[in-house]
Amino acid sequence: MDGQQKSSSAFQENRDRQEYRWPFWPVVPLYPYGQRRTLRQEVIKDAVWTFDQIQGIFYVVVPIRMTVIKLKPSGLLVYSPVAPTPECVRLMRELEAEHGPVRYILMTTTTGIEHKVFVGPFARCFPKAQVFVAPFQWSYPLNLPLSWLGLPGDRTQRLPENPNEAPFADQFDYRILGPIRLGLGPFVEVALFHRDTRTLCLTDALIAVPQEPPAALQLDPYPLLFHSRDRASDPFTDTPENRRLGWQRIALFAVYFRPSGLDVPSLKEVIQSALKASDRRRRAYFGLFPFRWKPDWQKSFNVLHGGGRPLVAPVLRTLIFTRGPKAVQHWAEQVAQWQFERVIPCHLEAPLAMGPEEFRQAFAVLTEPTAERSPLLAEDLALLEELDAGLVKRRITPPRSRDR
């Protein structure tokens, strides 16, 4: 590469870094920290778009998603914003130029700090939009006013309890799940239904785990390749097979924290293997690789994937929804009254081709916890069950509800 090519490459790299810049990453310090790429995809032509970024810890990264829906006769509604990097804002401006300005921004959860942290900065990029937040908002350790958390006080308001009172009620319906009392603060999630496109938007309650790596993770495959290895000394080899292997292990980490197919080596073994690592740069955590997979680990992934079926996120199912299973089931029945054809969650696979009956079946596990209704392996849920018991023992969260 000659000097001119190097100069051009450096210029383009610097330009890209400016496009992906997210300066407020220390508030919630998750990978990829101050550099976030955005993938915009059109779900329904001239009507529905998704904006995917990635985030995680120790290269256990998953997509985080906002959904943008066109209003009639013009304008846009944003469900659960992502980081408003220059690239993200530019992609939004392109939609505004064609379909009208952002009119409504929805903050759809009370507990998901990884969603809430972006709403204020995003709203300030679109100063004419009204901001609606899920009710029962709270913060820890101090319960601060929303304006102190960066939301514009003059145009932020709580979603009306009655959906017919919302200014977008002529095109949307919504149902509020909660509050489910958790101790520190309540859990709330807002399901939003767009009638014209028969699209249902959810935040965290439902997921589907794809067989292949999500498109947003393919933009930078390093996390996939990091987890595709069996030991620190293995090389980083970029192949479709390794990307798939890395993704399937990442998915197990993300959903279970400590899946049953994982052995954790001793600290001495981790340090010894780091000295022999194929990559000891800072980006590779200096060679540290505290993972060792059992030969049959893919059984857990195959059960989790389940042919792509949607399921209640295990973390919510174990740590949150057990505090109010009847309330969750009632909410699911209300949502299932809408005739939706697709579901767009904020994480993992989207859109999901599913209707009301499949939605009901996914939530039936909360009130009918039989083996047939709960296909996940008990050994994979073991750590979540331990965490749940520990939180109750320390009186951080209340005991599980006996009312099913």
Kindly list the domain boundaries of the chain, sorted by start residue.
38-208+316-363, 221-306
CA 119/CA 80 separation, integer angstroms: 7
CA 66/CA 344 separation, integer angstroms: 9
CA 394/CA 400 separation, integer angstroms: 14
- Residues 75-104 have pLDDT tens digits of 999 999 999 999 999 999 999 999 999 999
The partner residues of 158 in beta bridges, in order of sequence, read: 133
Contact 316, 188 (CB under 8 A): no
Q: What is the mean pLDDT of the chain?
A: 90
Across 196-291, the runs of DSSP E, i.e. the strands, are: 199-201, 206-207, 262-263
Q: Retrieve residue 199's tokens.
A: 């699209």
For residue 87, the model assigns a pLDDT of 97
For residue 397, the model assigns a pLDDT of 86
For residue 372, the model assigns a pLDDT of 47
Nearest to 337 by CA among 154, 180, 163: 163
List of residues 6+ apart from 8 with CB closer than 8 A: none
Nearest to 71 by CA among 39, 48, 50: 48
Q: Retrieve residue 200's tokens.
A: 């249902």
Q: Retrieve residue 181's tokens.
A: 């009392």
- The reply to whether omega before 314 is within 30° of 0 (cis) is no
Provide the 3-class DSSP secondary structure of residue 77: strand
For residue 9, the model assigns a pLDDT of 54
For residue 297, the model assigns a pLDDT of 94
pLDDT mean by block of 10 residues, the chain; 404 residues: 54 75 92 95 98 95 97 97 97 98 95 87 96 86 69 91 96 95 90 98 96 96 95 94 97 93 89 90 91 93 93 92 91 96 97 95 78 71 91 87 66
Contact 137, 146 (CB under 8 A): yes
For residue 143, the model assigns a pLDDT of 67
List of residues 6+ apart from 349 with CB closer than 8 A: 207, 208, 209, 210, 214, 308
CA 297/CA 300 separation, integer angstroms: 6
How many alpha carbons lie under 13 Å from residue 260 in its C-beta half-sphere? 15
As a whole number of Å, the CA-based R_g of the chain is 22
The pTM assigned to this predicted structure is 0.92
Residue at 375: amino acid letter? P
Residue at 252: amino acid letter? L
Provide the 3-class DSSP secondary structure of residue 297: coil
**Residue 85: count of CB within 10 angstroms of its CB:** 22
For residue 371, the model assigns a pLDDT of 41
For residue 153, the model assigns a pLDDT of 84
Q: How many residues does the chain have?
A: 404
Nearest to 60 by CA among 304, 297, 290: 290
Provide the 3-class DSSP secondary structure of residue 40: strand
Contact 203, 115 (CB under 8 A): yes
Domain 38-208+316-363 fold: Metallo-beta-lactamase; Chain A (3.60.15)
